[in-house]
Amino acid sequence: MAFAKGGQAAREEVKNSLPHFNRVKYLSLKNGESIFLRLVDDSPDWIYIQQHGFVPTKGAPKDWKSESGKKWPESMNAVCRKAKNKGDLVFPEHGGQCFICDEMTGNDRSKDGRYRPSIKLWARAIVRDEIIGTQAMVDAGLIEDHEKNQRVGFQDHEIEVQDTDKDGKPVGDPKKQPEIIVLNMGMQNFFGALQASYDAYGTVLDRDYKITRRGEKLDTEYDIVPMDPIMTQDPESGRMVKFTLQADEAREPYEKLLDLEGVITEQASDRHYATFFDTTKEIPTRAKKDDGKAEPDESGTGTQEEAPEAPSEAELAAMRDRMMGKMAPAAESKA
């Protein structure tokens, strides 16, 4: 796929434009909730594409059941199958036809009722936990006494994952890895603030960001506050430098945990359209919630839990590394 990339390029495209089932988590906050994130993709690598938002679904199949009690979504997003990059169709295999553009009506936000796409951006981010200063850190000389009970840094939020074979059966033991989520938002209410940070600092990969949602549904804005960089000692020069994911070797372990282009392609797939929108197609069997592994929604991650108040010696050593900007190589997972 030839996806268009670049935060500044997306900003210009927005100005000029007219009005799944993988275990993928999207940024999803309720009004007033906050989360700490560190981006994996820098501004020049943000993908932007024409996308349909809040499109009504055709409804759940009669035999679909949700073990978690969640309802079938009333609306979903979809990447437009007519999306182009430099004049060429991004998905030529669909022949320039898009069921949402061509067949769906009833949109009360447009004069003719059509569901037109708009430019949305995509990037990956690591969910981060605050590190709260403890007496154990004071005793170990990691922090000053006045920093106790204060935020002294950030660390990756880890989740447990389980590899599976092609039949969905577990392979090996569960393992922990950093939690990666997808950012899929517009330039005006979200990525514009991050682009401003990129313009100021030359990168968005050198610090954590606090994201807070304000509002509901279409009337939503996000407060995005850049945190102070984490400083670490360079082993060669001995100088204190910023911990950043700009270097390929620091960023690649995170990139391997989630195929962003694959996620975007899924939103334009026959399976996605047949499941939620195309009334001429049967809903694929995989859409039925019968194996406990997937549900047709895009719920994301909420607020953070506090760090442990009394870490063990092993936890303290690991925390010391994280405070100094070090990360153990992340294991690749199929989950």
Domain boundaries, the chain: 4-295+309-323
Share of the chain above pLDDT 90, in %: 59
Residues recorded for the chain: 335
233-273: pLDDT as tens digits: 788 888 988 889 999 999 999 999 999 999 999 999 999 99
**pTM for the full predicted model:** 0.79
What's the angle, vertex CA 183, arms to CA 179 and CA 186, rounded to 5? 170
CB 124 within 8 A of CB 181: yes
Among 192, 290, 204, smallest CA distance to 242 is for 204
| Torsion, Cα of 313, 245, 152, 302 (10° steps) | -90
How does strand 151-156 pair with strand 209-216? unpaired
125 SS3 class = strand
Residues of the chain with pLDDT under 50: 17-22, 286-295, 297-311, 325-335
92-123: pLDDT as tens digits: 999 999 999 999 999 998 999 999 999 999 99
> For residues 128 and 136, what is the distance between their CA atoms, to the nearest angstrom?
21
